[in-house]
Amino acid sequence: MFSFRKRPPLREISPGELHDLVADRAALVIDVREPGEFAVGHIPGAINLPLSRFDPHDLPDADGKRIVLNCAAGRRSALALRRCSGVPVDTHLRGGMGAWNRAGLPVER
């Protein structure tokens, strides 16, 4: 009746690690914040797929890149990650855009 199956762990990546992956063109960043938040500033090259309409089957082809989800602080990207069962996505940005901004990394507007 109840499932006590252990959820697979969510992988978290630091802002510096994600910056390196983006610079090496090895990551595709999916930003799950709402469009207004995304427009204020986002990781360069990120694609906006808001959590309010997030469907993992709508994720674009990553062309061999690692897909990394992000949001404002890490909560929504973790929720989106939980929806990705059966889709090869297991990583999100620890601390979200807040951590990215605190690290002084580039922001696209």
Indicate the CATH number for domain 11-102: 3.40.250.10
Structural domain boundaries in the chain: 11-102
User: Does the pLDDT of residue 82 top 80, yes or no?
Assistant: yes
Lookup: tokens for 13:
């990546």
Q: Could you give the CA distance from residue 98 to residue 76 in angstroms, rounded to a whole number?
A: 13
The pLDDT value recorded for residue 86 is: 82
Q: For 4-21, what is the mean pLDDT?
A: 83
Burial of 61-95, coded b for 16+ CB within 10 Å and e otherwise, reads eeeeebbbbbbbbbebbbebbebbeeeebebbbbb
Quick check: 70 and 94 in contact, CB under 8 A? no
pTM as predicted: 0.91
Query: Percent of the chain at pLDDT above 70?
Result: 92
How confident is the model over 16-41, as a mean pLDDT?
Answer: 98
- Which is it for strands 47-48 and 66-70: parallel, antiparallel or unpaired? unpaired
100 touches 70 (CB < 8 A)? yes
Rounded Cα–Cα distance for residues 80 and 89 (Å)? 10
pLDDT digits (tens, 9 = 90+) for 47-76: 999 999 999 999 999 999 999 999 999 999
